[in-house]
A and B are shown apart, each in its own frame.
Chain A
Amino acid sequence: MNSSKPRYEVPTIVRNASGLMNKVGHRGSLESRTQIDGVDVDSLIKDFGSPLFVFSEGTLNRSIDEARLALEKHLPQSQLCWSYKTNYLGAICAIFHRSGSLAEVVSGMEYEKARRLGVPGNQIVFNGPAKSEAELQRAIQEGAIIHADHFEELRLIERIAQAARTRPKVGLRVALDAGIVPRWDRFGFSLESGVAEQAARFITDSPHIELGGLHTHIGTYIVDPRAYGRAATKLAEFAEYIEATLGCRPTHLDLGGGFASTNSLATQYQSGALVPRQEEYIREIGRALAQQRGAKLPVYLETGRALVDDCGTLVSTVLASKRLPTGRNSIVIDAGVNLLFTAWWYRLELQPCCPSDGFIEDTTVYGPLCMNIDCVRESVALPPLSAGDAVLIRPVGAYTFTQSMQFIHLRPACVLISESGDVELIRRKETLEDLIGPEIVPERLAIERARSNLSDHHDGLRDVRSGAVVQ
């Protein structure tokens, strides 16, 4: 379409409504963007198909650098641990490990993934409420940094250690009140109720295990950095208390993840672009720990979304545009909640790829699933888009690919754009084999038999329609 005539737009008329803006209302992202890190979106679609997850190594590196600089300044004795569940694509994890991050895993599957990427067991932080006996045996043998979640796990670890005649270090996940809601108190041992102290005593009383680190993860998408100051103070005071009363110094303090990313929560008035920077959280932790009298323990951070969200974009293509009976405009795109689980609680940004000076309208964005729930945005200001136009959905670097589903459609390819602008495939597009490979159809249901049943059934129906009496 290179003619000099204006691009045709579907004729549109909308009734103007008044009083709908909120006081911090902001324009949707209306500027078009035809490239990601200097690579044409059209060529990405041509080479890898649509939809397509695109990750920017440059953006990720800048985000890691931002964290590292802030840590050097405010928490020199610290260690980043990459939260696998946030994004465990191998290439993304490898970028984190290359920059010195440990692996933070919450399942045997994630543990194995880290090991296969070449991470030694003693550089894996093993969290989570559901570690199996076999997984714990291996983690203990390989010297992983374990944070226990409940007493059953402590007793299991003790039994394993006794049988293996080793004396592993076991850390504790501590649930504490950092003054934020919702309070994540279902994980770990409660500090305020004294259960965490009991757990520490359990360890120090046992001849088979030793106390490791103290861990807490106060929640996710926390927008008040001071909550981290309070959490750090409580954890450090608890460490000091344990040392004074039980004579045993914890090996480290792990403050988990939870810094907000630039995504906007669906319930949030302001844009996510206004959330605190990583340094503001880290500064609060540094300040709080500097005021402690006790030993300065190394600090671990398991930052997930704040590090990785921005580097991910989902390229998608418009399949249709449709005016709804209410007069509202809508589009159907080829990526829905099957790929964008995060659309349930985020207002993901949608940006058109084609320049358009057309009529901007509030538009509902539906995905490709034949399900009423498949809505990516209830309302987003967009110019007129037609079938074949590409749109960019972002940020989708965190929890998006890991939570995507093979539901109705197979998952698309993932590519990484390197610092030098090369596009590398980091996960191929799925094939039907990826879905049905693990399935087993019992012999008795084999298709030959099913086919003959089917034809009996059809014969019967024909008889009914033609008025024959069916016995």
Chain B
Amino acid sequence: MDTSHLGLLAISDTGFVFDPRTGHSYTVNSTGLTLLRGLKQGLTLPQIRDSLGATHDCSYDVSTDLGTFIKTLENYQLLGNSGQG
């Protein structure tokens, strides 16, 4: 997964995300923030999934939620160039 754009984003502790390339800003919730930070640090999705599972009260495997989140990041062109042509 190409995550080269992630390093350019300004991400605040309160979940405010700014993309200086486009001027768009985003709001991310706390689990989304954990994910963005994990990706930025180079963690894999299974690692992030396990850490979310350990720190949150959740009754199911959240892998599909992470997949959906990644798709949203791709749609917003926040991850990298892969798949964006």
Contact = CB atoms under 8 A, between A and B. Distances in A.
A90 interface: no
Interface residues of A, number: 20
Nearest to B29: A359
A15 B76 contact: yes
Nearest to A10: B65
B32 interface: yes
B72 A323 contact: yes
B84 interface: no
A13 B76 contact: yes
Contact of A13 (B27, B34, B52, B66): B27
Interface in A1-59: 1, 3, 5-16
Contacts of A358: 29-30
A355 interface: no
Given A7-B57, A15-B76, 19 more contacts: A6-B57, A7-B56, A8-B57, A8-B58, A9-B56, A10-B62, A10-B65, A11-B35, A13-B17, A13-B27, A13-B29, A13-B78, A16-B24, A16-B27, A323-B72, A358-B30, A359-B27, A359-B30, A359-B32
Nearest to B76: A15
B41 interface: no
B5 to A, nearest CB: 14
Interface string B56-84: 11110010011011001101101000000
| A3, A323, A358, A359 pick with most chain B CB within 10 angstroms | A359
B62 A13 contact: no
Interface of A: 1, 3, 5-16, 323, 325, 327, 358-359, 384
Contacts of A327: 72, 75-76
A11 to B, nearest CB: 4
Contacts of B62: 8, 10
Contacts of A9: 29-31, 56
Interface residues of B, number: 30
A8 B57 CA distance: 5
Contacts of B24: 15-16
| B17, B52, B58 pick with most chain A CB within 10 angstroms | B58
A1 B57 contact: yes
Nearest to A326: B75
Contact of B32 (A11, A15, A16): A11
Contact of A16 (B26, B29, B36, B75): B26
Contact of B56 (A6, A16, A323): A6
B57 A10 contact: no
| B36, B59, B62, B65 pick with most chain A CB within 10 angstroms | B65
A10 B31 contact: yes
Interface in B6-65: 15, 17, 24-32, 34-36, 52, 55-59, 62, 65
B71 to A, nearest CB: 8
A258 to B, nearest CB: 43
Given A323-B68, A323-B72, A327-B72, A11 B57 contact: no
A15 B27 CA distance: 6
B68 A13 contact: no
Nearest 5 pairs between A and B by C-beta?
A8-B58, A359-B29, A11-B32, A8-B56, A5-B57
B25 A16 contact: yes
12 contacts: A5-B55, A5-B56, A7-B57, A11-B35, A11-B65, A11-B66, A12-B32, A13-B32, A15-B25, A15-B76, A327-B72, A358-B29
